Structure 1
């Protein structure tokens, strides 16, 4: 049995400054494309969430006999899409970081040179290419997307749900009352099958308090969020 002793070809590295610049520009364009691809995926997820909200709001509020559980189901679906988008945002942030390294340390210096405190940015970028790592946690990514878009969807669903359980006319067709006369009526309307309405109210309240905390929590701004104001 013979062994193949053919040497493994080693890729040729840029030998001149011109070749290095050409390689860097091609790499920059490739990272732009990857970043744009993940940005488009984020937009798709947001569009799905908006579609879910619009569709289930229409089902719930346009029919007097529609159960308020439809809106709770909408909240669950939107939260699932938020988690998916947070994961996609973490990948987007990696490629945005690489693109911004070029823009901040190379192109900005070419257009308007200033003393650069990060002279080793190429080494940092090279290490990130060898061992790719996320720059933000799932919690931070979720908080960012929640503040940008999703909190407004949740608030719309909450307002519709409160309207649904507090307005008997939307609960039972033919009821002459416009608004529930007591808190006990609201609790009764909030019943979800065998689950008592008081428990449902407590669960929804706890969920939205957690969303409020996620919106207001302090985040780590050591990454790209610490530079400038234009952020996704």
Structure 2
């Protein structure tokens, strides 16, 4: 233990030897192939780990949605608002998955940078690299990792790919439940939840899905294209 402390006390990060650690590791004279292979393998592993986290969130959302729909249609006496509880639960999973997607995109963007500028160039040197500043950009990203896309873009990406179909299915199920499978009351009275009138509940549902459609399909400039960014992307920012 004392030996470890002595070693730490002798380490000077500002010293000339310490500052030159790793210098020239990827130069041609140092045979960079092995170093690049290990670097790329590590980035692929991290990207795969975060991809699995995305899949787990989606699986939970589908499982809960299936359980709620099964229970809601198992008897005509089941309250229709349990489907709206499912809408809220799936929306919560959407927000969680969007946050995880921002983490996943950090590793994905690095992998794409290596693929475009190292491996593609190695396979066909006549085309050159896609970004002449890729080494500097990757170095800056390793020093100060930042999110490459904003929260809105991450939400929209997962909404279009996964959650809009799931939420649309829940909407159709709810409409079927209140408009067709409630014989003792007609719409909009059949959509009432306790003291809240059916018309107000229907208006709230319509407003929520209109907001989803606006967020999902409004024109925007996409940032999740593989490039690295030097500044963290804020939440719900206006795209250039």
**Which range, TM-score by smaller chain?**
0.7 to 0.9
Distance 1:22 1:225 in 2: 24
The equivalent residue for 1:61 is 73
Q: Distance in 2 between matches of 1:145 and 1:57?
A: 22
Moved more, 112-121 or 122-131: 112-121
Q: What is the aligned partner in structure 2 of residue 229 from structure 1?
A: none
Deviating more after overlay: 151-160 vs 213-222: 213-222
SS in 1 for 2:73: helix
Equivalence for 1:86: 98
Contact persistence 2:102–2:148 (CA under 8 A): yes
2:140 aligned with 1:136, yes or no? Answer: no
1:67–1:171 Cα contact (<8 Å) kept = no
Q: 1:171 aligns with which of 182, 193, 208?
A: 182
The corresponding residue for 2:111 is 99
Say whether the 8 Å CA contact 2:153–2:222 is kept in structure 1. Answer: no
Of 212-221 and 198-207, more deviation after overlay is shown by: 212-221
Cross-structure match for 1:6 = 10
TM-score by length of 1: 0.84
Structure 2 counterparts to residues 102-121 of structure 1, below 5 A: 102-113=114-125, 114-121=127-134
The CA deviation at 1:48 is 0.8
In 2, are the aligned partners of 1:42 and 1:88 still within 8 Å (CA)?
A: yes
Q: Label 1:138 to 1:147 Cα distance change in 2 as closer, same or farther (>3 A).
A: same
Greater alpha carbon shift after TM alignment, 19-28 vs 89-98: 19-28
**Change beyond 3 A, Cα 1:98–1:117:** closer
Q: Kindly state the Cα deviation for residue 149 of structure 1 after the two structures are TM-superposed.
A: 1.1
The size of the alignment, in residue pairs, is 212
Segments of 5+ residues of structure 2 without an aligned counterpart are: 228-240
TM-score (norm 2): 0.82
SS state of the match for residue 62, structure 1? coil
Matched, 1:157 2:161: no
Q: Is the 1:66–1:171 contact (alpha carbons within 8 Å) kept by the matching residues of 2?
A: no
What root-mean-square deviation, in Å, do the aligned CA atoms of Structure 1 and Structure 2 show? 2.2
Q: 1:148 aligns with which of 149, 161, 182?
A: 161
SS of 1:224's equivalent? coil
Cα distance, 1:88 vs structure 2: 0.4
Q: Find 2:46's aligned residue among 10, 24, 34.
A: 34
Q: Is the 8 A contact 2:192 2:201 kept in 1?
A: yes
